[in-house]
A = this chain, B = another copy of it.
């Protein structure tokens, strides 16, 4: 039987508030099983871009990563956020190791092919080096990934953190029974995003087709859910979307996705 592994992704809502982040990291440290944390960038990168007199460029809600931007997101995601999160986990006696996809060649990507929009130094993931990540886990380390990858030609690439989490989950399923948990500000997938009572507690593949057909999934949620089902179809055991507290308290309502 495979050992259990939890892969947990946090985004801006947890990262932007110092107290929320501390409280989340304290909870995360209490998880006894093997675990991996993936963090997004929050608003700090956009703030830094502005502080340096530049303007964040977005197309269709996604960042366009030019040369200055890849430098700044590398500083903020791989430096400031990743090392502060890792230091706080170390304080909580969780032996965390902060990583980008460059480190130990853990996540290999390629620069996104230009179709309608040139997203610049945006990376699409090609491969997760599950062997070396397994070495870290079996040495009781807890990898903490920021969403920076590389192309093995020396270029750093800005990559979507939800996708990183799903790709890690797929890759690690080779060795572990993986549970993937996306933490965000809502209870889970809501039929009406402004109404917590419309939580959809369980989504299977049939339900997904129905929800899509009825246009009941918000535009922001769709790529996340597609990531989830991609993971489930590639070996991941279970995917959960919910509030950060769900990582230690399964009684808090959330959405479970299954095949």
Given A71-B80, A77-B79: A152 in contact with B52 (beta carbons within 8 A): no
Q: Quick check: is A127 within 8 A (CB to CB) of the other chain?
A: no
Contact of A79 among B74, B88, B99, B150 (CB under 8 A): B74
Nearest first, the 9 closest Cβ-Cβ pairs linking A and B are A79-B79, A75-B75, A91-B154, A75-B79, A97-B104, A78-B79, A97-B103, A87-B150, A88-B154
B148 touches A90 (CB 8 A): no
Per-residue CB contact flags for chain A residues 32-76 toward chain B (1 = under 8 Å, else 0) read: 000000000000000010011000000000000000000100111
Contact of A104 among B48, B80, B141, B148 (CB under 8 A): B141
Report the nearest B residue to A25, measured CB to CB: B154
Chain B positions within 8 Å of A51 at CB level: 52
Interface positions of A from 134 to 155, Cβ below 8 Å from B: 135, 139, 141, 148, 150, 152-155
Alpha-carbon distance between A141 and B102 when the two chains are bound, in angstroms: 12
Which of A87, A98, A141 has most chain B Cβ within 10 Å?
A: A87
B103 touches A100 (CB 8 A): no
Q: How large is the interface on A (under 10, 10 to 19, 20 to 34, 35 or more residues)?
A: 35 or more
Q: Quick check: is A132 within 8 A (CB to CB) of the other chain?
A: yes
What is the distance, in angstroms, from A94's C-beta to the closest C-beta of chain B?
Answer: 10
Alpha-carbon distance between A84 and B157 when the two chains are bound, in angstroms: 11
A87 touches B104 (CB 8 A): no
What is the distance, in angstroms, from A206's C-beta to the closest C-beta of chain B?
Answer: 43
Q: Quick check: is A161 within 8 A (CB to CB) of the other chain?
A: no
Chain B positions within 8 Å of A96 at CB level: 102-104
Given A51-B52, A141-B104, A141-B132: A83 in contact with B78 (beta carbons within 8 A): yes
Q: Quick check: is A168 within 8 A (CB to CB) of the other chain?
A: no
CB-defined A-B contacts under 8 Å, sample of 27: A51-B52, A74-B79, A74-B83, A74-B84, A75-B76, A78-B79, A78-B82, A78-B83, A79-B80, A83-B102, A84-B156, A86-B100, A87-B154, A87-B155, A90-B102, A90-B105, A90-B152, A91-B152, A91-B153, A95-B105, A96-B102, A96-B104, A97-B104, A98-B100, A132-B139, A132-B141, A135-B135
